[in-house]
Amino acid sequence: MRIDVVSIFPEYLAALDLSLIGKARRDNLLDLNVHDLRDYTHDRHRKVDDTPYGGGAGMVMKPEPWGEVLNRIATESPATGPLGEKPILIVPAPAGAVFDQAMAYELAEAQHLTFACGRYEGIDERVLEHAAESFDVRPVSIGDYVLNGGEVAVLAMVEAIGRLIPGVIGNPESLVEESHSDGLLEYPVYTKPGSWQGREVPEVLLSGNHAKIARFRRNKQLERTAARRPDLIVELDASTLNRHDRDTLWHNGFALVEGRIVPKDQIAPE
């Protein structure tokens, strides 16, 4: 996969040289190019922002350098095919669609992703309109809070997407059991020593009984998700739950009513 990132702080993206994503780059699984937006300015001060039309606080990123860098990336894109398919341009912004594991899986299939890191009050809107001629433009948020710019969001997204590219993670099995892969949070994990600070590893994990271990882990997933992310529980497909799952959910505050999972406190009394 090719990834291009445009930023006025290219040093921010140096973290993508480390760990699994850095290794993926060295193994040529990921062709990552970071562009300094200021390299596309033509004035002595390398100015990338200006005051907003209509007034208001803060500064807005000027369109010209963005137009130049995005044109160049679009021209070089391996994803601009004969059928008119467009490469994807992700614009990190708190006003975007929320990034989640399903989006990470979808984007991991792409041949080419470009990330446009805005700063200040954002990028002149005409840049996104112009870019839509060459890119499939997607404003994306990593959560309901405001960062100072898109760089940290790009680090999070590139890591989440990059680890799903075949070959990046040594043991792809580990992707199957992690949080969010089946709509539930991951079960707790333990390693040696079996006893630490007076705390014991749950006995069932030492039993060698694989069915019991699987049930214990599934119960922990359901309990945790019910406590921490009840919004995920009500989204579960009830037809995937067996009798044990329904029983665990009942003991953790959820009931199955007419094929739907609902919090028990929302069931009207007879």
Which residues does residue 199 pair with via DSSP β-bridges, in sequence order?
196
When the beta carbons of 87 and 150 are compared against ligand ADE, the nearer one is 150
CB-count burial class (<10 Å; 0-12, 13-18, 19+) for 94: middle
Residue 141 sits in the site that holds ligand ADE (CB under 6 A): yes
**Which residue is nearest to ligand ADE, using beta carbons?**
92
Residue 76, token pair as written in the block:
């070089």
- Whether omega before 193 lies within 30 degrees of 0, making that bond cis, reads yes
| Contact status: 142 vs ligand ADE (CB under 6 A) | yes
* Interatomic CA distance for residues 157 and 100, integer angstroms: 9
Q: Kindly tell me which residue out of 146, 176, 211, 268 binds ligand ADE, with binding defined by CB under 6 A.
A: 146
Q: What's the DSSP call for residue 152?
A: H
37 is in an annotated binding site: no
**Ranges assigned E (strand) in 16-160:** 31-36, 49-50, 60-61, 88-98, 112-116, 136-141
The interface mask with ligand ADE, positions 80-99, x = CB under 6 A, is: ------------xxx-----
Contact (Cβ atoms closer than 8 angstroms) between residue 79 and residue 86: yes
167 known member of a binding site: no
- The interface region with ligand ADE, picked from 48-56, 63-71, 147-155, 197-205 by CB under 6 A, is 147-155
If one asks whether residue 150 binds ligand ADE (CB under 6 A), the answer comes out as yes
260-263 and 199-200: which strand pairing?
Answer: unpaired
Tell whether 53 is in a known binding site.
no
Contact string 42-81 vs ligand ADE (x = CB under 6 A): ----------------------------------------
Considering only residues 145, 193, 239, 259, which one is a binding residue for ligand ADE as defined by CB under 6 A?
145
What is the binding site for ligand ADE (CB under 6 A)? 92-94, 141-143, 145-147, 150, 153
